[in-house]
Amino acid sequence: MEEIIQGVNSINLTADSYKKNRIQVSNTKKPLFFYVNLAKRYMQQHNEVELSALGMAIATVVTIAEILKNNGLAVEKKIMTSTVDMKEDVRGRPVQKAKIEILLGKTENFDELMAASAEERDVVDGEVQG
């Protein structure tokens, strides 16, 4: 019994340590570029971001990852696929849904690209207001 208690105590599942850099993507709740910009912010803070989605939102996650990669901001570290049992049926019957998780890390020139993007934005804002 003591071994079980010791094992349970050694598991660290506090809210603080659990996946601060994880984004659960929906294809209906927010626009695509909301998630792209959020992923950029998470990469600035944590050096990597994990994009996760179920079912129809998988295409959105792949699109976000490709946008970040094609702009030179991210590199793929890991891709995980699985299925999840969910009770979606009216009769309460379990339905399997596809799940994807993509872990992206910063590229070496991430910070320079973000700084250049910020400067560009400032110049455009200055011209519009001036």
Any domain includes 6: no
**Secondary structure class of 122 (helix, strand, coil):** helix
Higher-pLDDT residue of 46, 122:
46
CATH of the domain at 102: 3.30.110.20
Look at residue 37 and tell me if it is in a domain. Answer: yes
Domain presence at residue 9: no
Task: Tell me 88's DSSP state.
Answer: -
Are 53 and 24 within 8 A, CB to CB? yes
86 forms beta bridges with 95
108 inside domain: yes
pLDDT-based confidence at residue 65 (cuts at 50, 70, 90) = very high
Q: What is the pTM of this model?
A: 0.76
User: What's the domain range around 86?
Assistant: 22-128
Average pLDDT, integer, range 112-123: 83
- Tell me: pLDDT of 58 over 70: yes
